[in-house]
């Protein structure tokens, strides 16, 4: 389990136990399990989803983030609509791209495919002026 899920599960369990210990004016042994305050929190925490692989977590975390055509893997590029293995390979081999528009200008992608994914990609650059060259 990753740290966030473990912390969230432990936190929910503690809250559930605290709520369950509150006096509701009704004898607990006569309440059905579904009516015990906080018990549903404990049940929900115990039924946490299965742990995701690092790749699945990365895709989930970046679901809304645009894909950088200068650093994405071929497999990540292939997940874009209209970009198969051949086009993904051409994108990787043509790096670095100055602009995402270069994919159309250099005939790597047809305009229709580019228009379908242009909001989902970016072309980021490494700023070499920030790198220290040599000792000093």
Domain boundaries, the chain: 3-50, 57-122
- Interval 38-61: pLDDT, tens: 555 555 555 555 666 665 655 555
The ranges of the chain with pLDDT < 70 are 1, 4, 8, 11-14, 16-63, 127-136
Backbone angles phi, psi at 124, to 5 degrees: -85, 155
* % of residues, the chain, pLDDT over 70: 51
Does the reported pTM lie above 0.75? Answer: no
Domain 57-122 class, CATH top level: mainly alpha
**Lookup result for tokens 């509150």:** 22
| CA 58/CA 96 separation, integer angstroms | 23
pLDDT at 121: 97
Q: Which segments of the chain are extended strands (E)?
A: 67-68, 121-122
């Amino acid at each position: 389990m990753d740290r966030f899920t473990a912390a969230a599960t432990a936190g929910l369990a503690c809250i559930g136990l605290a709520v369950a210990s509150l006096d509701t004016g009704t004898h607990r042994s006569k309440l059905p399990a579904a009516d015990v305050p906080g018990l549903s929190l404990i049940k929900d925490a115990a039924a946490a989803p299965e742990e995701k692989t690092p790749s699945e977590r990365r895709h989930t975390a970046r679901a809304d983030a645009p894909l950088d055509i200068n650093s994405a893997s071929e497999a990540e590029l292939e997940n874009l609509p209209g970009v198969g293995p051949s086009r993904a390979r051409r994108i990787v081999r043509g790096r670095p791209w100055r602009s995402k528009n270069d994919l159309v200008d250099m005939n790597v992608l047809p305009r229709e495919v580019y228009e379908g994914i242009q909001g989902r990609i970016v072309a980021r650059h490494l700023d070499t002026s920030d790198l220290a060259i040599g000792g000093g």
